Structure 1
Amino acid sequence: QLAHHAADLKGKNLQSTDLQSFLKQVAESNPALSIVSILDRSGTIIAVYPDTYAGYIGTNVRDQALVSSVIRDPVPGMSEYIKSAEGEYAINIIYPVYSSSLSVTGYLSVLLNPALLIQSSVQSLVQEGRNILVTQPDGSLLGQVLTAPGAIRQNQYEKIQINEIAASPVSSYPAGYDMLQLSEAVSSGEERHQVFWNTVSLHSTPWRVLVF
């Protein structure tokens, strides 16, 4: 979706085009998206949606790791779970925007809540008695779909670390299974579960999908 939205900006003058209706369209394309912005070639925010974040227009965010990486090498990029300037934990995805002659004119940047993205993506895959967790390789919980609702409480304002997963072979092997203690965030006591996992990746950023 974001690749198509970035392509829609090709050849447009980002400095003079009224971008608010476009940013609103992008934001409403997926409920997981929380903030959509346009950066110029220097990494300065020149447009943002929702309007409540208009105070960030003119802020240069090139010191953020993903922004500097995409400016240095203009290919789409995705961050790990970061705490944004607005105080939310989120995933940042950035796409370069090109002129008609294929020079970079700026960047389309979105912040998304991975828990909402995962919920909408894997809900239909959950079978009776199975649960799905999605984490970073370090054990940071990005989202989950559980057959016992409410077992994990998570929103965009907190970061949950599942240390047993971070310390397990999940960190070393892209796919496999093991008996793991999933920590009090998932189940009480010292109970261990047989957990199967695989790895998915977008823009070289890996996520672990665990089923137990």
Structure 2
Amino acid sequence: MKSPVQTIVITITCLFIGVVIGSLMTPVNETDDAASYLIQLQSDITEDLQRLDTDLALAAYAFGEIGLEGETTREILLSLSQRHPAIIDCTTVSPDGIILAAEPPAYHTAEGVDVSHQQATRHILTTKRPMMSGIIPVAEGMEAVFIGAPVFSHGDGTTPEGQFIGFSSIVFHPDVFLEGIVRPVMADTPYTVTIVDTDGRVLYDTDPDQIGLPLDDPAYTPFPELIALVTRVTEERQGKGTYSFRGETKEAIWTTVGLHGEEWRVAVVRVVG
């Protein structure tokens, strides 16, 4: 005959096993699952943007000593351009908005181009503060995003210390940058990812055919629920909503990443009907 203590131990053990088995058989809440992926993407994108920004800031500091032109400057620009596969080129720009140097050599043709008319260029020349642009036409002959860092002289006898002498930039493809982050996180999951800027333009999508499309593109006109949700997304830094698109009902949760005041909305999406 079992003692009362043995009976209690057996009962507790059975209850524990039942709880464990029950937890294993209960499906993970899909909303919580999507949220965990979203948090991971937010962290990874932020980290990689900050890494680009730090690398550029260090280069800009060096240019404050050696200047915006010359062989050593080109060597630093070339090394910087090789830090990430999304980078198109790296440049130095004069206080008048003229590109002085661009690396790699394939983009030497951008040198001498006046970019002072661009709103993003005017912003950094006026504020003399670091910035990230939206997606814009660039001198390299395509649309891209750039991160800019002001350059201040270290003082060389002719230029006073602390004088603004121009800026340096990293010009990059946002879709390539984001693909390298999103793919390893979302591989083998039932979710898709859409990332838009605050104008509603698609910077990245699991469906490559949607990359680059603005919110008013004819491809979206037949789907007013989608347009309404993306409008919300551009206005709200985080949230959750549903919409219909191409015969499916989808649920999206989103949050925000950004750098120097430029914001991107990151959404994890799943089919719900």
Q: Shorter-chain TM-score category?
A: 0.7 to 0.9
Q: Retained in 2: the 8 A contact 1:15–1:46?
A: yes
| Structure 1: unaligned runs, 5 residues or longer | 183-188
d(CA) in 2 for partners of 1:55 and 1:63? 18
Residue matched to 2:266: 209
CA deviation map 1:61-96 (0-9, x unaligned): 111111111111001111111122333221122111
Of 160, 163, 179, the match for 2:242? 179
Whole-Å separation in 2 of the counterparts to 1:48 and 1:109: 9
Q: Deviations over 1:107-130 (max 9, x none)?
A: 112210001111122333326112
Distance 1:85 1:6 in 2: 20
72, 87, 103: which is aligned to 2:163? Answer: 103
Which one is further off, 103-112 or 120-129?
120-129
Rounded Cα–Cα distance in structure 2 between residues aligned with 1:153 and 1:5: 36
The residue type equivalent to 1:152 in the other structure is P
User: Quick check: 1:82 aligned with 2:136?
Assistant: yes
Point out the structure with the larger strand share: 1
One-letter code of the match for 1:119? E
1:161 corresponds to which letter in structure 2? P
**Structure-2-length-normalised TM-score:** 0.66
Change (3 A) 1:56 1:171: closer
Kindly state the Cα deviation for residue 166 of structure 1 after the two structures are TM-superposed.
Answer: 5.1
Quote the residue 2:60 is aligned against. Answer: 6
Once the two structures are superposed, residues 25-60 of structure 1 have per-residue CA deviations (whole angstroms, 9 ceiling, x without a partner) of 011011110021111121111111132332332222
Distance verdict in 2 for CA 1:97–1:178, change over 3 Å: same
> Normalised by the size of structure 1, how large is the TM-score?
0.84
Aligned partners of 1:211 and 1:6: how far apart in 2? 36
Residues 167-195 of structure 1: CA deviation (Å, up to 9, x unaligned): 3221221111000235xxxxxx2322000
Choose which of 152, 168, 193 in structure 1 pairs with 2:208.
Answer: 152
**Which of these residues, 146, 156, 161, is aligned with residue 214 of structure 2?**
161
Sequence identity percentage: 24
1:137–1:206 contact (8 Å) kept in structure 2: yes
Residue 200 of structure 1 aligns with which residue?
257
Q: Which amino acid aligns with 2:127?
A: D
Bigger Rg, structure 1 or 2? 2
Distance 1:166 1:68, change over 3 A: farther
The 8 Å contact of residues 138 and 166 in structure 1, kept in 2 or not, is answered as: no
Q: Aligned-pair RMSD on alpha carbons?
A: 2.1
Read off the aligned partner of 1:175 and give its amino acid letter.
Q
* Count of residues in correspondence between the two structures: 198
